[in-house]
């Protein structure tokens, strides 16, 4: 399976429209944290880029939410040190209270204030912050972006789960944050509601260029949204870096190895997108939901949907074929399979083969060969 969505990340000529308002100074969020509770310990010292979407990924109970709450200032851990770019949020003798940190937070479950309607909820943060600060996001723009207009006069109780999260997202954005914190914003939603909110999160990430921290245990959501990934396990960060590289971590092999390719838009014919990866052409069906746009697209390719051949295949139903090079061959989760790490135009790609096939083709690191990605397998 392969799906795609425009990426706001890789190309300077990305799909961001001109109205994209907030430009943040790229800096880092420095977090030095030690939390020791019974049966639970979280210890980390990280520099998180304040650019794009950084996913805090890991199983439930690994400390993701604890980390997010410490960053927000909702929990105060005496030994924590937190700096937002040059701004000290928590040091040995200072603690900036939550309401002074310019963060926007979206909680896991519905967090709309029940005594206010949608419009009043949306403006709650805006009214408190906008007057004193340079307004980057206007209510009308956010209402437009998130398609909230029909909901404005409704009470939170009348909304579906997906709508509530959309309002919560809009409310967070209107509080003019410098950093958006998303605590499993999709976790409490059913599959259909997730589809209602995911495109909006992508839109926010793409068009507003707002730095975001996304806590999630759903790889599916992470690959759609994140640019960077922090992998947490048992209260420690075990690896960090750009998403495409992080997906090579063995931890992901267990839950279905996959790769993310960034491709540049060339044209769209007969509902097929023509995309370029390292000078090579890829064709994928255009998304039905969102209109096609120039810029770069992100493609998700499951390792088991990639086949390898020594020569280019002709006369095949496979339309997508890329010249690749083998970087490494690793054991896969299943003893009869191997995971082949490939490289296409400096981007990692993974293929899951049987051990037998790998031996038959005599695959070795450094070898150049061809990867087939079945077009029918594309989303």
Partner 1 sequence: MLNLAPEDWLAIQVTLKLCFYTTLILLLIGTPLAFWLAQAQSRWRTAIQALVALPLVLPPTVLGFYLLLLLGPHGAIGSTLEALGLRHLAFSFSGILIGSVIYSLPFTVQPLLEAFRRMGQRPLEVAATLGANQWDQFFNVVLPLCRGGFVVAATLTFAHTLGEFGVILMLGGSIPGETQVLSVLIYDHTEAMNYSQAHQLSLGLLVTAFMVLFIVYGLNRRLEREVSL
**Angle formed at CA 14 by CA 10 and CA 19, multiple of 5 degrees:** 135
Among the listed residues 12, 17, 78, 97, the single contact to partner 1 using CB under 8 A:
97
Among the listed residues 19, 59, 128, 360, the single contact to partner 1 using CB under 8 A:
128
Smallest CA-to-CA distance from 111 within 95, 97, 100, 125 is with: 125
Cα–Cα distance for residue pair 29/46, rounded to 1 Å:
8
Residue 350 · residue 341 · CB < 8 Å: yes
Task: For residue 260, give the H/E element and its range.
Answer: strand 258-269
Among the listed residues 171, 206, 209, 224, the single contact to partner 1 using CB under 8 A:
171
Tokens of 136: 């980057």
How crowded is residue 157: how many other Cβ atoms within 10 Å of its Cβ?
A: 9
| Least separation in angstroms between CB 354 and partner 1 | 50
| Least separation in angstroms between CB 73 and partner 1 | 8
**Angle formed at CA 261 by CA 193 and CA 272, multiple of 5 degrees:** 75
| Least separation in angstroms between CB 188 and partner 1 | 13
Instruction: Return the SS3 of 127.
Output: helix
Task: For residue 120, give the H/E element and its range.
Answer: helix 118-129
Among the listed residues 30, 77, 124, 147, the single contact to partner 1 using CB under 8 A:
124
Nearer to partner 1, 6 or 139 (CB): 139
**Binding map of partner 1 across residues 61-80, x = CB under 8 A, - = no contact:** -----------x-x------
Cα–Cα distance for residue pair 24/167, rounded to 1 Å:
23
Q: Does 323 bind partner 1 (CB under 8 A)?
A: no
Nearer to partner 1, 116 or 327 (CB): 116
| Least separation in angstroms between CB 111 and partner 1 | 5
Nearer to partner 1, 105 or 231 (CB): 105
Q: Look up residue 289 and give its DSSP letter.
A: S
Residue position matching structure tokens 């969505």: 5
- Maximum distance among all Cα pairs of the chain, rounded to whole angstroms: 70
Q: Does 81 bind partner 1 (CB under 8 A)?
A: no
Nearer to partner 1, 179 or 369 (CB): 179
Stretch that binds partner 1, among 25-33, 80-88, 120-128, 359-367 (CB under 8 A): 120-128
| Least separation in angstroms between CB 115 and partner 1 | 4
Among the listed residues 27, 63, 125, 161, the single contact to partner 1 using CB under 8 A:
125
Among the listed residues 56, 62, 103, 349, the single contact to partner 1 using CB under 8 A:
103
| Least separation in angstroms between CB 292 and partner 1 | 36
Q: Which residues fall within 8 angstroms of residue 374, CB to CB, at 6 or more apart?
A: 305, 307, 317, 318, 320
> What is each CA distance from 360 to 307, 333, 355, 357, 370, in whole angstroms?
14, 20, 9, 5, 15
Q: Does 107 bind partner 1 (CB under 8 A)?
A: yes
Q: Does 113 bind partner 1 (CB under 8 A)?
A: yes
| Least separation in angstroms between CB 127 and partner 1 | 9
Q: Does 185 bind partner 1 (CB under 8 A)?
A: no
Among the listed residues 19, 76, 99, 334, the single contact to partner 1 using CB under 8 A:
99
Q: For 173, what's the count of Cα atoms within 13 Å in the CB-facing half-sphere? A: 29
Q: For 360, what's the count of Cα atoms within 13 Å in the CB-facing half-sphere? A: 8
Among the listed residues 77, 81, 83, 129, the single contact to partner 1 using CB under 8 A:
129
Cα–Cα distance for residue pair 15/294, rounded to 1 Å:
6
Instruction: Using CB under 8 A, list all residues that contact partner 1.
Output: 72, 74, 97-100, 103-105, 107, 111, 113-115, 124-125, 128-129, 171-172, 175, 181
């Amino acid at each position: 399976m392969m799906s795609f969505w425009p990426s706001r990340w890789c190309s300077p000529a990305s799909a961001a429209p001109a109205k994209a308002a907030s430009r943040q100074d790229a800096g880092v969020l420095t977090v030095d944290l030690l939390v020791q509770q019974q049966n639970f310990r979280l210890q980390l010292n990280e520099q998180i880029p304040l650019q794009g979407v950084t996913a805090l990924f890991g199983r439930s109970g690994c400390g993701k939410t604890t980390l997010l709450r410490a960053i927000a200032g909702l929990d105060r851990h005496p030994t924590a040190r937190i700096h937002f770019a040059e701004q000290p949020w928590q040091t040995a003798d200072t603690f900036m209270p939550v309401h002074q940190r310019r963060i926007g937070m979206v909680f896991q479950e519905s967090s709309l204030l029940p005594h206010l309607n949608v419009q009043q909820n949306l403006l709650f943060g805006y009214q408190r912050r906008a007057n004193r600060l340079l307004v980057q996001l206007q209510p009308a723009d956010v209402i437009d972006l998130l398609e909230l207009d029909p909901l404005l006069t409704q009470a939170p109780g009348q909304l579906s789960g997906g709508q509530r999260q959309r309002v919560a997202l809009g409310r967070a954005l209107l509080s003019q944050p410098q950093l958006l914190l998303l605590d499993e914003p999709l976790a409490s939603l059913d599959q259909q509601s997730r589809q209602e909110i995911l495109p909006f999160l992508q839109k926010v990430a793409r068009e507003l260029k707002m730095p975001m921290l996304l806590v999630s245990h759903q790889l599916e959501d992470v690959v759609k949204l994140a640019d960077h990934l922090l992998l947490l396990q048992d209260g420690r960060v075990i690896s960090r870096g750009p998403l495409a590289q992080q997906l090579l971590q063995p931890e992901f092999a267990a839950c279905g190895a996959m790769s993310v390719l960034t491709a540049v838009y060339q044209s769209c014919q007969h509902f097929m997108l023509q995309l370029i990866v390292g000078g090579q052409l890829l064709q994928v069906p255009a998304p039905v939901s969102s209109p096609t746009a120039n810029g770069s697209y992100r493609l998700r390719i499951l390792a088991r949907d990639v086949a390898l051949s020594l020569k280019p295949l002709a006369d095949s139903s496979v339309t997508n074929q890329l010249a690749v090079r083998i970087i490494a061959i690793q054991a896969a989760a299943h003893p009869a399979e191997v995971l082949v790490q490939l490289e296409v135009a400096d981007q990692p790609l993974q293929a899951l083969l049987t051990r037998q096939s790998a031996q038959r083709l005599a695959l070795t690191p450094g070898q150049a060969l061809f990867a087939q990605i079945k077009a029918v397998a594309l989303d």
